[in-house]
Each structure stands twice: as structure tokens, then as C-alpha cells.
């Protein structure tokens, strides 16, 4: 009898070990795929930013001090369709409201999904987006100390987070700019290694570089929506912990370049 119980315990333990191993292998494969896809997308975003910077003087992004009404993320503006300054400005304004409901109907699918609150509007005043390989991108996030450079997608979803970090809330032109990323090693898995004064850069699609410095690293519970979105910090980066029950959060302020 004891021998039988012992054999059963060994079998159960072996099965659990195989299950854990399969999860690790699956996560590593997803990580590798995400790294590959985001690198390809990064190259395309960099090319688009170079194209956009040629005419950036004709379409001025809003200044940091100018406040605008709350709006949803803008649609992409195909640059090859812009013939002159007047047509680009009109195209930009006409497409601002076409994605008004993009963040309202996403259901809970995983504990590792970003924090959200349907009662809080997303702020994205006039952030240009550009379609890259079927996904709208809003810019590039760079963290030199982690040797990390990734495109940032708009209109987050759990599936999009498997590709690259996403704009979750706000705008680089105002406070409370929030970017969410998966905890892949090639994405936000090393956020917890950042230290105060570390440099974080965000390059928008106009080619303008917004410099930030880390001031705080904290862990928030998964339901700390207000703390995440109305923190008063200029930029917040966050990812889920391995358990999926809390969020590693990096708070940044605009870096004084003077």
C-alpha cells in the first residue's frame, strides 16, 4: 500500500514538473517572438519618424504647457497622402475622433492585463500615430541603462502587449503619460532594475525626443487604478509581476535639460 502511494506521489510530482516546464518553455517562446517582432517594427517606426521629421515644422505638435480637451487616441495619418501643409492639418483634425470607443469594451482576460477604469477618459491630445505592419504606433521608448528600445503601440490590448508596450493613458504632451508593457525580458521584465535618476526617453512620431528621469520605483496592487493614472508624475511605466497580482511601476518626471 505504501509502495503504491509512493509511486503515485512520484507520478504526480513528475506531472507537475512537466507542466511547470511546459509553461516556462511557452513563456520563453513568446518572449523570443515578441523580441523579434518588436525589433522589426522598431526599424519601420524609425524610418517613419525620419520621414515625418522632414515636415515637422509644418505641423507643430502641441506645446507642453498648452492644455487641451480630453480626447481619444488619433487615427494614423498616412504621410504619403499629404500634399501640403493645409491638407495635412485638415487630415489630422478630421481623424481625431474616429476611435472614440476603442478602449471601452475590452473584457478581463488575464490578471496580467493593464489596470483600467471605464470612468476615466484617455488623454491623447494630438499625438500622431502611424500604421506599422497593421498596428498603429505612437513613438519609441528608450531606456539606455537597460539597453532597451521599443516601439509603443496605441490602443492597448492583451494581444498587443505580446508584440510591444502600449500607450495606456495620457499623452507625452501632458502629465500622467502611462505606458504598459508585458513582463517579457525583452520588454518590461527588467523595469525593477531601474534606479532614481536613470534616463528614459520617448520619441514621438514628429521626431521630438521627450527626456525623463526616474524618481520612484514602486509596486502597486492590480486594482490601484487611480494611483496609476492620476499620480501627478509626467511618465509612468508599468508591468505585471510574475504572480500577476501587482504591478511594478516606475515613476518619472521631465528631465531638466538646462
The partner residues of 137 in beta bridges, in order of sequence, read 130, 153
CB neighbour list of residue 143: distance below 8 Å, 6 or more residues apart: 149, 194, 198, 199, 200, 201
Are 98 and 231 in contact by the 8 Å Cβ rule? The answer is no
pLDDT for the residue numbered 214:
97
pLDDT for the residue numbered 256:
79
Write the secondary structure of the chain as one string of H (helix), E (strand) and C (coil). Answer: CHHHHHHHHHHHHHHHHHHHHHHHHHHHHHHHHHHHHHHHHHHHHHHHHHHHHHCHHHCCCCCCCCCCCCCCCCCECCHHHCCCHHHHHHHHHHCCCCCCCCCCCCCCCCCCCCCCCCCCCCCCCCCCEEEECCEEEEEEEEEHHHCEEEEEECCCCHHHHCCCCEEEECCCCCCCEEEECCCCCCCCCCHHHCCCCCEEEEEECCCCEEEEEEEEEEEEECCCHHHHHCCCCCEEEEEECCCCCEEEEEEEEECCCC
Torsion angle defined by CA atoms of residues 25, 28, 32 and 34, in that order, rounded to the nearest 10 degrees: 120
CB neighbour list of residue 102: distance below 8 Å, 6 or more residues apart: 72, 73, 155
pLDDT for the residue numbered 81:
38
pLDDT for the residue numbered 110:
40
CA atoms of 66 and 80, how far apart (whole Å): 29
pLDDT for the residue numbered 91:
42
CA atoms of 245 and 218, how far apart (whole Å): 14
pLDDT for the residue numbered 141:
97
Please give the C-alpha separations between residue 14 and each of 1, 7, 26, 187, in angstroms, as whole numbers.
Answer: 20, 11, 18, 32
pLDDT for the residue numbered 25:
64
pLDDT for the residue numbered 175:
81
pLDDT for the residue numbered 135:
92
Q: What is the mean pLDDT of each run of 10 residues along the chain (258 residues)?
A: 70 65 60 76 89 62 44 37 39 42 40 45 66 92 96 90 93 91 92 96 94 96 88 94 89 84
Amino acid at each position: 500500500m505504501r509502495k503504491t502511494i509512493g509511486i503515485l506521489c512520484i507520478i504526480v510530482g513528475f506531472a507537475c514538473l512537466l507542466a511547470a516546464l511546459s509553461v516556462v518553455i511557452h513563456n520563453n517562446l513568446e518572449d523570443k517572438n515578441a523580441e523579434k517582432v518588436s525589433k522589426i517594427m522598431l526599424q519601420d517606426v524609425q524610418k517613419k519618424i525620419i520621414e515625418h521629421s522632414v515636415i515637422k515644422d509644418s505641423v507643430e505638435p502641441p506645446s507642453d504647457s498648452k492644455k487641451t480637451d480630453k480626447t481619444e487616441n488619433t487615427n494614423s495619418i498616412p504621410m504619403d497622402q499629404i500634399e501640403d501643409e493645409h491638407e495635412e492639418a485638415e487630415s489630422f483634425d478630421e481623424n481625431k475622433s474616429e476611435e472614440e470607443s476603442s478602449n471601452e469594451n475590452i473584457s478581463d482576460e488575464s490578471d496580467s492585463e493593464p489596470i483600467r477604469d471605464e470612468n476615466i477618459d484617455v488623454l491623447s491630445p494630438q499625438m500622431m500615430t502611424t500604421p506599422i505592419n497593421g498596428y498603429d504606433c505612437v513613438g519609441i521608448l528608450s531606456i539606455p541603462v537597460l539597453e532597451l528600445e521599443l516601439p509603443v503601440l496605441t490602443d492597448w490590448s492583451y494581444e498587443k502587449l505580446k508584440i510591444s508596450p502600449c500607450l495606456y493613458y495620457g499623452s507625452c504632451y501632458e502629465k500622467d503619460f502611462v505606458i504598459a508593457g508585458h513582463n517579457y525580458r525583452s520588454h518590461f521584465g527588467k523595469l525593477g532594475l531601474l534606479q532614481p535618476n536613470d534616463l528614459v526617453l520617448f520619441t514621438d512620431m514628429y521626431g521630438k525626443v521627450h527626456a525623463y528621469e526616474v524618481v520612484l520605483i514602486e509596486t502597486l496592487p492590480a486594482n490601484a487604478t487611480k494611483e496609476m493614472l492620476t499620480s501627478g508624475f509626467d511618465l509612468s511605466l508599468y508591468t505585471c509581476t510574475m504572480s500577476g497580482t501587482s504591478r511594478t511601476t516606475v515613476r518619472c518626471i521631465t528631465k531638466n535639460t538646462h
